[in-house]
Amino acid sequence: MRLATVRTATGTAAVRVDADRAIETGDADLGALLARPDWRERAQTAQGRAHPVAGLDYAPLVPHPEKIVCVGLNYRGHILEMGRDLPEFPTLFAKFPSSLIGAYDDIVLPSGSDSVDWEAELAVVIGAPARRVSAERAPDCIAGYSVLNDITARDWQFRTREWLQGKTFEHTTPLGPVLVTPDEARPGEISCLVDGEPMQRADTADLLFDAAALVAYVSQIVTLRPGDVLATGTPAGVGHGRDPRRYLAEGSVVTTRIDGIGECRNNCRREKADA
């Protein structure tokens, strides 16, 4: 099953995305749908207003998650290109919901940065409360998988040893277009293209800490709730790791794709300095 949040003439709506139609579930967005204990049945049996799939205006998959927990240094190739050792534990940081955009919305390049980079990632969306769960139980808490790009202002990220300031600029992080439930999800190759040129390509199976391990680990720290998002890390090929380094600019087009799930395609525009 594929689920999404779309913008309509009357506001946002959670939808089940079928082959040629998207059917409203009666919920304002995917987060509201996942908050229902019976969300699977409700989505499967939804018979609300229908929209053609072609031309859907995708909002951020979960517009207002309580938590966005991100993992750094989770693909061997990316760890090496950034000059770091393989971690014993997941490297965690966070984003705020204001950073999220829809699958085809513009990425807003911060006016105070000239080193904005791409990071294609597999996103995990929580579907049931998880508190101190084991890796064996963790899959029961996963609603599904989606596509995310952890757009990063490298010059801000590396101002200090903590990364938050480079990771959560507003209107920078594509999330979507759909959530694919685990019974149908077969995440395969993950890739990122900039202006049509391949930059990143890897297999999601190469994660050092997989989805279940991450859910289990984070749940030891904080309760994960329906609609929360885990970004699982990026593979090699980021602009900061290249020689010479390469960053996004006004007019750049970023395409983030995961086989079996979907893709985000986002134009970049520079934030006005006085915004």
What pLDDT digit, counting tens, does each position of 122-172 carry?
A: 999 999 999 999 999 999 999 999 999 999 999 999 999 999 999 999 999
> What is the mean pLDDT of the segment spanning 77-86?
78
Q: What percent of the chain has pLDDT over 70?
A: 99
Per-residue pLDDT, 274: 66
- The whole-chain average pLDDT of the chain stands at 95
CA dihedral of residues 20, 260, 45, 9 (deg, nearest 10): -50
The DSSP annotation for the chain comes to: -EEEEEEETTEEEEEEE-SSEEEE-SSSSHHHHHTSTTHHHHHHT----EEESTT--BPPSSSS-S-EEEEES-BHHHHHHTT-PPPSS-EEEEE-GGGEE-TTSPEEE-TT-S-EE--EEEEEEE-S-BSS--TTTGGGGEEEEEEEE--EEHHHHTTSS--HHHH--TT-EEEEEEEE-TTT----EEEEEETTEEEEEEEGGGBSS-HHHHHHHHHTTS-B-TT-EEE----S--GGGSSS-----TT-EEEEEETTTEEEEEEEEEPPTT-
Q: How long is the chain?
A: 275
Give dist(CA 153, CA 169) in Å, integer. Answer: 8
Asked if residue 148 is part of any domain, the answer here is: yes
pLDDT digits (tens, 9 = 90+) for 187-246: 889 999 999 999 999 998 889 999 999 999 999 999 999 999 999 999 999 999 999 999
Is residue 175 a part of any domain in this protein? Answer: yes
**In terms of domains, do 2 and 108 share one?**
no
pLDDT beyond 60 at 275: no
Shared domain for 8 and 89, answered yes or no, is: no
Q: What are phi and psi of 212, to 5 degrees?
A: -65, -40
> Has residue 196 been placed in a domain?
yes
Flag whether 211 is in a domain: yes
Q: Do 55 and 145 have their domain in common?
A: no
Does any domain span residue 275? Answer: no
Q: Looking at residue 214, what is its pLDDT? A: 98
> What pLDDT does 81 receive?
76
Query: Same structural domain for residues 134 and 11?
Result: no
What type of residue is 25? T
Strand partners, 91: 72
Which residue range forms the structural domain that includes residue 252? 62-270
Pairing of strands 107-109, 262-270: parallel
Instruction: Examine the domain organization and report whether 53 and 88 are in the same domain.
Output: no
| pLDDT above 90: residue 80 | no
Strand partners, 146: 123
Query: Do 239 and 204 share a structural domain?
Result: yes
pLDDT of residue 216: 98
Rounded Cα–Cα distance for residues 13 and 271 (Å): 28
Q: What domain count does the chain have?
A: 2
